[in-house]
Amino acid sequence: MLNWFKRISLIVLSLVIIAVMAVYLTLRQSLPALDGERTVSQVSQPATLSRDSLGQAIIHASTRKDAMYLLGYAHGQDRFFQMDLQRRAAAGELAEWLGDMAAEYDKANRFHQFRRRAEHIVTAMPAQQRALLVAYSDGVNEALNEMGARPFEYIVTNFEPAPWTPADSVLVIFSMYLDLQGSSMKRDLALTSIAHVFGQPMVDFLTQSSQYQAALDGSLVTEQADIPALPGATASADSAPAYTSAILDAAANFVADIGSNNWVVDGTLTDTGDALLASDMHLGMRVPTTWYRAQLNYPGPASEVSVTGVSLPGVPGIVAGTNGHIAWGFTNSYIDTADWIQVDKQDVTSVKETLNVGGDIQSYNRLVSEYGPVKQVGTRFYALSWVAHQPYAVNMLLVELANARSVAEALPVVSKLGIPVQNIAIGDTDGNIAWMLAGAVPARETPHDMAITPEQFDAGWQTDETELPVVMNPDTHRIWSANSRVMSSTALSRFGDGGYALGARASQVRDRLFEHEQFDEARFYAIQLDNEARFLQPWHSLLRALLSQNADSYQADIAALDNWGKCACSDSVGYTLVKHFRGQLLTTVFAPVNNALNNYGQSLWSATNALEPAIWQLINAQSASWLPAGQNNWQDFMRAEYDSAKSRLLSQHSETGELADLAWGKVNVMALTHPFAGQIPVLGSALNMPRIPGFGDTFMPAVQGRDFGASQRLFVRPGQLDKAVLTVPGGQSGHPLSAFYQAGFSDYANQRNTPLMPSAPLHTLTFIPE
């Protein structure tokens, strides 16, 4: 019997080894070739694509068009899966690949009809821009055709990748519109519903200005609102059912402070006279990472171009970086770029739409009107006019920044960019600096926070606004942005508020910039890693005072608070307690409003990022009408909310029930995962990046969540590129067997410098024209 058992075990082990070897050999076949020579018809002169020790793509070509062909080839080799996900997500075509799990997601994105819009944009695009997209697409498809086997994601799902088209690159930009501006659309509709259920005073209360403001000109918005009563909502013929004021366990899923940072100082504040730029764009974190390191070298209109930075797989060109003359970076700008128009039912048309769900063609109806696609809320109908729906939403002018030799030359290009509107920070070798709105902005004169009538609709929506606010060489010698209001309070009335960040993070960045009169890359890196908990200090004081009223029951808690370090540090238990106390209190206090919005399929988190003034008004006024049922006073209520938050934390993060298990580094560990890791038994976890203990949080420069944070850290003086830094939270290649799958991640995780400029090439592909 024992011999039979051994034989069976050996057979099973042999089968496992054979299976693993088969998987390994299949994966090996899909590894891209990085050396050799190609004869192709798409290049006009010999061109090279090299990789350095990080896998950074180094491209030398005789024309810009040839360079974009090689960039497409590099993206296709290393990131096709990522590109495919993004184009399909924007077009609402994921269900064809992923089946039922993506059907509702596809329907939501089909609302925007981005595939049709992308094809129209490409057709109408100037020939020179369209030629770059065609060349890029040809490069992607050449790389795809050369693969010895499909990328593993397609093998796992038994799906064939489709060729790349120029319209697909536009779809990738549309995916960034959804990521960067999608919350603004939801905000306006949620505020409309709040006004409908609770009245305008509630909207004013929830969106009032705070003390956290950091506009470049120092201007303040000071309007404050009174506390409204919190009556029960009454159901009516054109509203959702009445809400209940009962506190929901998972009531308001409040979004963390949105975030990206950039700043630049002029030449008077550096030892070389160059401007010095910092940029860390904050995005959802995943494997592979968002950005792709690249350097493009080709002849420009006046001289040779050598532009280095991060590219977006799926799109030709460098998004943020430097050409040795200027350096630039972006943060998302939350100006108002969407209006909802309430339309009559008789003005709404139903259009039949088909959806491919894993090969099964399904039909459903979507609603449209002359103003745009229509969403039904209760018995009301709202049409969306959004900048992403306009023909001017996307163009390829970002590649022209590579030709600019100064800030003054760059700004006219910036004013015409067709991207989701951003704050650009830019500096040059002469020490000049500037901030400007960059991207598609509607020329309609009056932005609106809530739905409007057809009579209020502004025909300016059809025109791209090119007269955009700009600040150049300010007397402060410093420029900063961090998703809160950058422009003056006067300009705010023209461009609106599409959901600005609170301003605490921007204020902290600004204050750090005024602590010194000289800066270098190391000092800038320290600002990006600044995790001082300035914003939470009032909350710490509040919680410390609450617990002290019953000190005998909270001795360990008080000790943790007293040793919290005033930072989102990995070993801080007190920080975790303060952070989650605030979140629990916000969730419970505003649950009635959120519950009402849930009846409309909406959520309060999309309506406001600035609940701080409102919650402190309620705490200070001890407003009885806002106390949940069964609560008699705010002191007992807030302690109960703290107990609830702590209990939830311990159940999630501790097996022993000890507060020591709630160190912030454990609770807020960053986990960058591959979308398919959970679909592959045993080996799937190997696709993920090593976990990073939490060291930052929201409302501070060092933004970090479990799957959100700095998607790159860039520091550059355009005239001192040997000192420039670019760290990225992941490798260049999306292939798990590639030497570049995790290359550079360790520097990011351990907060070390990775040079921006490529090192000596290790691999080179040469492309010869036919």
- Answer for the pair 610, 207: CB distance below 8 angstroms, yes or no: yes
Kindly report, residue by residue over 272-300, the tens digit of the pLDDT. Answer: 999 999 999 999 899 999 999 999 999 99
User: Does 360 fall in a domain?
Assistant: no
pLDDT at 612 over 90: yes
pLDDT at 365 over 90: yes
| CA 701 to each of CA 478, 600, 713: distance values in angstroms, whole numbers, following the listed order | 16, 35, 12
State the DSSP string of 87-99.
Answer: HHHHHT-SHHHHG
pLDDT at 241 over 70: no
The single-letter code of the amino acid at 439 is G
- Alpha carbon distance 188, 200 (integer Å): 13
- Answer for the pair 32, 146: CB distance below 8 angstroms, yes or no: yes
Identify the weakest region by mean pLDDT among 9-18, 260-269, 407-416, 659-668.
9-18
Residue 10, pLDDT score? 53
Give residue 676's pLDDT band: very low, low, confident or very high (50, 70, 90): confident
- Other Cβ atoms less than 10 A from the Cβ of 389: the count is 19
pLDDT (average), residues 255-268: 83
User: Does 618 fall in a domain?
Assistant: yes
Give the strand pairing for 36-40 and 763-769. parallel
Residue 393, pLDDT score? 98
pLDDT (average), residues 399-409: 98
pLDDT at 12 over 90: no
- Alpha carbon distance 521, 5 (integer Å): 64
Nearest to 666 by CA among 695, 627, 702, 690: 695
Residue 252, pLDDT score? 29
- Other Cβ atoms less than 10 A from the Cβ of 213: the count is 20
* 356 DSSP 8-state letter: E
**Which phi and psi angles does 746 have, rounded to 5°?**
-60, -40
pLDDT (average), residues 405-416: 98
pLDDT (average), residues 642-659: 96
Residue 169, pLDDT score? 98
Q: Where are the alpha helices (DSSP H) in 483-536?
A: 489-495, 504-513, 521-528
Average pLDDT, the chain: 92
Measure CA 503 to chain center.
Answer: 17
pLDDT at 677 over 90: no
| CA 364 to each of CA 87, 208, 585: distance values in angstroms, whole numbers, following the listed order | 22, 40, 41
Residue 30, pLDDT score? 83
State the DSSP string of 592-647.
Answer: HHHHHHHTTT--GGGT-S--HHHHHHHHHHT-GGGSPTT---HHHHHHHHHHHHHH
Residue 548, pLDDT score? 98
State the DSSP string of 177-213.
Answer: HHHHHHHHHHHHHHHHHHHHHH-HHHHHHHT---S--
Nearest to 578 by CA among 529, 537, 622, 620: 537
Residues paired with 372 in a beta bridge: 369
User: Does 652 fall in a domain?
Assistant: yes
User: Does 625 fall in a domain?
Assistant: yes
pLDDT at 117 over 70: yes
Kindly report, residue by residue over 460-469, the tens digit of the pLDDT. Answer: 999 999 899 9
Kindly report, residue by residue over 300-359, the tens digit of the pLDDT. Answer: 998 999 999 999 999 999 999 999 999 999 999 999 999 999 999 999 999 999 999 999
Boundary (domain end) residue, out of 667, 701, 723: 667
End-to-end CA, the chain: 68
**Which tops the pLDDT comparison, 12 or 484?**
484
Identify the weakest region by mean pLDDT among 92-96, 678-682, 751-755.
678-682
- Per-residue burial over 191-209, b if 16 or more Cβ lie within 10 Å, else e, is bbbbbbbbeeebbbbbbbb
Nearest to 736 by CA among 10, 31, 3: 31
Q: Hey, what's the torsion of the CAs at 168, 169, 172, 177, to 10 degrees?
A: -110
Structure tokens at 669: 């560990």
Boundary (domain end) residue, out of 606, 638, 667: 667
pLDDT at 17 over 80: no
Boundary (domain end) residue, out of 606, 636, 667: 667
Give residue 680's pLDDT band: very low, low, confident or very high (50, 70, 90): confident
Structure tokens at 503: 């301003």
Give residue 15's pLDDT band: very low, low, confident or very high (50, 70, 90): very low
- Alpha carbon distance 492, 502 (integer Å): 15
| CA 749 to each of CA 230, 277, 744: distance values in angstroms, whole numbers, following the listed order | 46, 22, 9
- Alpha carbon distance 659, 650 (integer Å): 8
Residue 684, pLDDT score? 82
Kindly report, residue by residue over 450-491, the tens digit of the pLDDT. Answer: 999 999 999 999 999 989 999 999 999 999 999 999 999 999
**Which phi and psi angles does 738 have, rounded to 5°?**
-70, 145
Domain holding 625, by residue range, is 537-566+569-667
Nearest to 112 by CA among 86, 89, 84, 82: 89
User: Does 223 fall in a domain?
Assistant: no
Number of domains in the chain: 2
User: Does 434 fall in a domain?
Assistant: no
Residue 3, pLDDT score? 63
Phi-psi region of 692 (alpha: psi -120 to 50; beta: other; left: phi over 0): beta
Residue 249, pLDDT score? 29
The count of C-alpha atoms lying within 13 angstroms of the C-alpha of 51, restricted to the half-sphere facing its C-beta, is: 24
pLDDT at 16 over 70: no
**Which phi and psi angles does 685 have, rounded to 5°?**
-65, -20
User: Does 635 fall in a domain?
Assistant: yes
Give the position of tokens 């900048």.
Answer: 387
The single-letter code of the amino acid at 760 is A
- Answer for the pair 147, 300: CB distance below 8 angstroms, yes or no: no
Structure tokens at 119: 């094809």
Residue 267, pLDDT score? 98
User: Does 691 fall in a domain?
Assistant: no
Give the position of tokens 């969306």.
Answer: 384
